[in-house]
A = this chain, B = another copy of it.
Amino acid sequence: MDIDAYVADLGRRARRASRAMARAGTAAKNRALEATAAAIRAAAPELKAANARDLEAARAAGHDAAFVDRLALTDAVIAGMADGLAQIVALPDPVGEMSKLRYRPTGIQVGQMRVPLGVIGIVYESRPNVTIDAAGLCIKSGNATILRGGSEAIHSNRALAELIRRGLAEAGLPEDAVQLIAVTDRAAVGALITRPEYVDVIVPRGGKSLIERIAREAKVPTIKHLDGICHVYIDDAADPDKAIRIADNAKTQRYSPCNTMETLLVAEGIAGRILPPLGRIYADKGVELRGDTRSRELLAAAGIACREATEEDWRTEYLAPILAIRVVAGLDAAIEHIATYGSQHTDAIVTEHHGRAMRFLREVDSASVMINASTRFADGFEYGLGAEIGISTDKLHARGPVGLEGLTSLKYVVFGDGQVRG
């Protein structure tokens, strides 16, 4: 099979479908999402049968339990996919929204209109529910999409893509608005990410090595994040109860998400009061602590074990029950630490001091910056965007959780009545 020709054919179809999607009305797009949701609910047995083939192959290939877990289409996951589509239906349609229309002295009226990006390529690992989330967001935002899911989920993804295409057809929208790369050959990814004539943006989701490779080789812009080295800084003027609650939640509510805290910074003036009770909570939950000299002293005095942190610890996204801890002089040192070691993902300050809170908010250059809240809130659903297509730590276009708006851009619109330039 000629992979390049196959992907180019998908690309041409997607480009054509993208024009119809860009002019599609809100009602038609919602109808497609609702029809797909209904089809998913109705087809649960078929979906589980297709998924069973993937699960069997994954187990035979020796994948671990966590991998198999992510791959599984259980009744709960199937219901969740359908519910997710219903949530996207409920979101306002971003396309066509006009803003900032103002008259200029020449008499023309100038503003901006929100429009779809065009064709979105999504490369993801073996989580079949991403097929539905991603397609749903692309449909609602008026984009066409080409999906490339992990090869281990191929039967599940084919079955899901078929339901989406039927949903599109029911709504009178082009089926090619959502296409799945139905071959597992890895060359297909290379073909997809190097064809700007067919694809306007690539959203890579998955492990860091996959994303790095795609970012390096892509000839198409990407929306992505590599690391989530998130910090909580507990200021001198923090409310100790809030500080302990937030630092506990940011680390232990779940260990694997990218918005989980990896390094805790504590101001010198409050460290003696915060670290012993907080360290006890972590120790009880089995979190391994790695600290600088001062935090180790304070923890040791309270009988809590803490390894010595190395330079490498400040740069590490553990995604595990391990936490780096550093006592800092105050706000400036905290901001400096985050600028040096952070990944511009999500960082929070805990303080009741208004001026320091506002300085942290302005000066920390991360996609999400928080005052007195857990970093775990950095998520499209918690922010009210509905589902998210991904998270961006890039500086251009969208930063942070990327929902419908991040899949659109603003073009200028000019209303005149015969004006010419003098």
Knowing A370-B416, A395-B409, A420-B245, the reply to whether A102 touches B363 (Cβ < 8 A) is no
A93 within 8 Å of B by Cβ?
no
Q: Mark A13-44, 1 if CB is under 8 A from B, else 0.
A: 00000010011000000000000000000000
A414 within 8 Å of B by Cβ?
yes
Specify which of A102, A108, A384, A412 lies most central, judged by the most chain B CB atoms within 10 Å of its CB. Answer: A412
Q: List, in ascending order, chain B residues with CB within 8 A of A421's CB.
A: 249, 253, 374, 376-377, 382
Quick one: which of A96-117 are within 8 Å of B by CB? 96, 102, 104, 106, 108, 110, 113, 115, 117
Nearest-neighbour CB distance to chain B for A285, whole angstroms, equals 14
Q: Are B363 and A395 in contact (CB under 8 A)?
A: no
Q: Are B118 and A395 in contact (CB under 8 A)?
A: yes
Q: List, in ascending order, chain B residues with CB within 8 A of A348's CB.
A: 414
Q: Are A374 and B249 in contact (CB under 8 A)?
A: no
Q: List, in ascending order, chain B residues with CB within 8 A of A366's CB.
A: 411
Q: State A383–B395 Cα separation when bound (angstroms).
A: 25
Chain B residue with the shortest CB-CB distance to A411: B399
Q: State A9–B383 Cα separation when bound (angstroms).
A: 40
12 chain-A/chain-B pairs, Cβ below 8 angstroms: A22-B365, A104-B384, A106-B377, A110-B384, A369-B412, A369-B414, A370-B416, A373-B418, A383-B412, A396-B396, A396-B397, A397-B409
Nearest-neighbour CB distance to chain B for A242, whole angstroms, equals 3
Q: Are B395 and A401 in contact (CB under 8 A)?
A: no
Quick one: which of A386-422 are within 8 Å of B by CB? 394-397, 399-401, 409-421
Interface of chain A: mostly helix, strand, loop or mixed: mixed
| Contacts A104-B382, A371-B416 known; 10 new A-B pairs at CB < 8 A | A118-B395, A245-B418, A249-B421, A253-B421, A372-B416, A378-B414, A395-B409, A397-B397, A399-B409, A400-B412
Q: State A246–B23 Cα separation when bound (angstroms).
A: 27
Q: Are B118 and A365 in contact (CB under 8 A)?
A: yes
- Which one of B115, B416, B418 contacts A365 once the chains associate, using CB atoms below 8 Å? B115
Q: Are B374 and A419 in contact (CB under 8 A)?
A: yes
Knowing A200-B395, A419-B374, the reply to whether A412 touches B118 (Cβ < 8 A) is no
Q: List, in ascending order, chain B residues with CB within 8 A of A117's CB.
A: 395-396
A263 within 8 Å of B by Cβ?
no
Q: Are B108 and A417 in contact (CB under 8 A)?
A: no
- Which one of B201, B361, B384, B419 contacts A113 once the chains associate, using CB atoms below 8 Å? B361
Q: Mark A123-146, 1 if CB is under 8 A from B, else 0.
A: 000000000000000000000000
Knowing A253-B420, A382-B421, A420-B253, the reply to whether A414 touches B200 (Cβ < 8 A) is no
Q: List, in ascending order, chain B residues with CB within 8 A of A110's CB.
A: 377, 382-384
Q: List, in ascending order, chain B residues with CB within 8 A of A397's CB.
A: 396-397, 409
Q: Are A415 and B104 in contact (CB under 8 A)?
A: no
Nearest-neighbour CB distance to chain B for A57, whole angstroms, equals 35
Q: Are B371 and A411 in contact (CB under 8 A)?
A: no
A179 within 8 Å of B by Cβ?
no
Knowing A106-B377, A397-B409, A412-B367, the reply to whether A418 touches B246 (Cβ < 8 A) is yes
Q: State A279–B368 Cα separation when bound (angstroms).
A: 57
A281 within 8 Å of B by Cβ?
no
Q: Are A413 and B370 in contact (CB under 8 A)?
A: yes
Q: State A418–B394 Cα separation when bound (angstroms).
A: 28
Q: List, in ascending order, chain B residues with CB within 8 A of A363's CB.
A: 19, 22-23
Chain B residue with the shortest CB-CB distance to A104: B384
A268 within 8 Å of B by Cβ?
no
Q: Are A339 and B19 in contact (CB under 8 A)?
A: yes
Nearest-neighbour CB distance to chain B for A115, whole angstroms, equals 7
Q: State A369–B19 Cα separation when bound (angstroms).
A: 16
- Which one of B19, B399, B412, B418 contacts A412 once the chains associate, using CB atoms below 8 Å? B399
A239 within 8 Å of B by Cβ?
yes
Q: Are B409 and A396 in contact (CB under 8 A)?
A: yes
